[in-house]
Amino acid sequence: MKIKVRKPRFMSVLLVACLAGCSLLNKVAESVNALEEMKVVDNLEPSEQYYLGRGVSAVIVDRYKPIEIKDQRSERQIQYLNEMSGFIEIAAKDVTRSARKLGDYTDRSFDEQERVYNLALYKGIQVGVLDSDEVAAYATPGGFLWISRGLINMCNNEDELAAVVAHETAHIILDHGMANYRRAHKQSIITSTLSETWFSGSGVGANFGRLCVTLSEDLFNGYNPGQEFEADNWGTRALAASGYAPDAMVAMLKRIEQHEKDHKVDPEAYLAHHPPIGERIKAVQDLIKQENLKGNTGTMTPDAIQARNKRFEAAFK
C-alpha cells in the first residue's frame, strides 16, 4: 500500500520539477541569447579595434613625444621599423596562436581563442618611435606599436631589434590588450561605451575618451606575467619563422636584465607586473631547445648577418 501511495506523490513532484526545470530552461536560453547579443559589440571588428588603438595611441603620443619625420635620418628609421614589422607579421602568419601550444601561460576561453585565431589588422602594424630615453614599448589593440628611443638604443644589432618588434607584435596578434580590459572591467561597460561611440551617429565623444584613457592606463601598467611569457614564446617562434636568430630574444632579455640591475629599478614595482626576467630567459632557452628553432637555411651566413647589421647601423647608430 505504501508503495501505491508514494508513487503518485513522487510522480507529482517529478512533474512539478520538470515544469519548473523547463521554465528555468527558458530563462537560461533567454539569458544565453542576451549574452550573445552583448558579445556582438564585445567581438570588435578589425576597424573598431583599429579606432580604439588609435585613441589609445593618441594618449601615448600625448605623454611621449613621437619622433616626427623631419629629415632623411628620421625617415629612414621609421621606414626601417615599419618594413621590419610588416615583414615579420607576414612571415609569421603560420606561427601558432593556440594558447596551449604557446606554453599554456594564459587561460583563454573558447570564445577568446576563436577571437585570436580570427584576429585581423585593419591597416596592418604601424610602428612609431617615442622620443624618450625610457626603456619602453607599447602595443595597442588594432596594430599600433610604439618603441622608445631608449629601447632601440639598447639593441646591439638588427636581430635584437627584431626580437623587440616580434615580442610586441605578439601582444597585438594574441589580443592581450583587449583581453585584459575585458577581464578588468565588466563587459557591460565596454558594450554601453562602444554602443554610444560607434552607433550613436554623433562621432567620438566623452565616453570614447574615457575608454581610451582607461585602456592606456592598463597598457602603462603592463601586461600580466602569463601574457609576457606567451609573447616571448610567440615572438621567438616568429623570429625563427622570419629568418632571424631566435637566440636574439634571449640576448635582448639579458640586456633588459642588465638594465634593470644598472638602474636599480624597484624590484617590487617591477615584479608586480612582470615575471622575473631570469625565468623568462630560461623559458625562451627551453623553447628554442625543445622546438629546435633556428632561422631559415642561409639566413645566418656571415654575409646575411653583415647585410642586416649594416643597415641597422646606418639607421640607428
Q: Restricting to residues 255-314, name those near other proteins by CB under 8 A.
A: 295-299, 301, 303-305, 307-308, 311
Question: Is residue 287 within 8 Å of residue 233, measured between CB atoms?
Answer: yes
CB of residue 47 to other proteins, shortest distance in Å: 6
Give, as one character, the DSSP assignment of residue 106. Answer: S
Considering only 112, 158, 218, 232, the residue that binds other proteins (CB under 8 A) is 158
Considering only 148, 169, 227, 242, the residue that binds other proteins (CB under 8 A) is 242
Considering only 203, 263, 269, 292, the residue that binds other proteins (CB under 8 A) is 203
Look up residue 235 and give its amino acid.
G
38 in contact with other proteins (CB under 8 A): no
CB of residue 138 to other proteins, shortest distance in Å: 13
CB of residue 59 to other proteins, shortest distance in Å: 6
Look up residue 256 and give its amino acid.
I
- Residue 304 neighbours by CB under 8 Å, 6+ apart: 298
Spatial separation of the C-alpha atoms in residues 202 and 209, rounded to whole Å: 14
Q: Which is nearer to other proteins, 157 or 285 (CB)?
A: 157
195 in contact with other proteins (CB under 8 A): no
CB of residue 211 to other proteins, shortest distance in Å: 11
Spatial separation of the C-alpha atoms in residues 194 and 71, rounded to whole Å: 39
Query: Could you say which residues in the range 15-34 bind other proteins, by CB under 8 A?
Result: 15, 18-19, 22-23, 25-26, 29-30, 32-33
CB of residue 5 to other proteins, shortest distance in Å: 12
Q: Which is nearer to other proteins, 87 or 260 (CB)?
A: 87
DSSP letters, 210-253, are HHHHHHHHHHHH---HHHHHHHHHHHHHHHHHTTS-THHHHHHH
Helix (H, G, I), strand (E, B) or coil at 203: coil
Window of 49-57, 177-185, 224-232, 251-259 that interacts with other proteins by CB under 8 A: 49-57
Spatial separation of the C-alpha atoms in residues 312 and 243, rounded to whole Å: 16
Considering only 2, 5, 71, 202, the residue that binds other proteins (CB under 8 A) is 202
Give, as one character, the DSSP assignment of residue 66. Answer: B
CB of residue 223 to other proteins, shortest distance in Å: 22
Window of 203-211, 229-237, 248-256, 276-284 that interacts with other proteins by CB under 8 A: 203-211
Spatial separation of the C-alpha atoms in residues 205 and 192, rounded to whole Å: 13
CA separation, residue 305 to residues 91, 142, 166, 289 (Å): 18, 32, 18, 22
Query: Could you say which residues in the range 213-232 bind other proteins, by CB under 8 A?
Result: 213
Considering only 210, 261, 273, 282, the residue that binds other proteins (CB under 8 A) is 210
Window of 50-58, 175-183, 230-238, 283-291 that interacts with other proteins by CB under 8 A: 50-58
Query: Could you say which residues in the range 89-148 bind other proteins, by CB under 8 A?
Result: 89-91, 93-94, 114, 117-124, 126, 128
Question: Is residue 105 within 8 Å of residue 55, measured between CB atoms?
Answer: no
Question: Is residue 174 within 8 Å of residue 105, measured between CB atoms?
Answer: no
60 in contact with other proteins (CB under 8 A): yes
CA separation, residue 26 to residues 15, 21, 33, 36 (Å): 16, 9, 11, 15
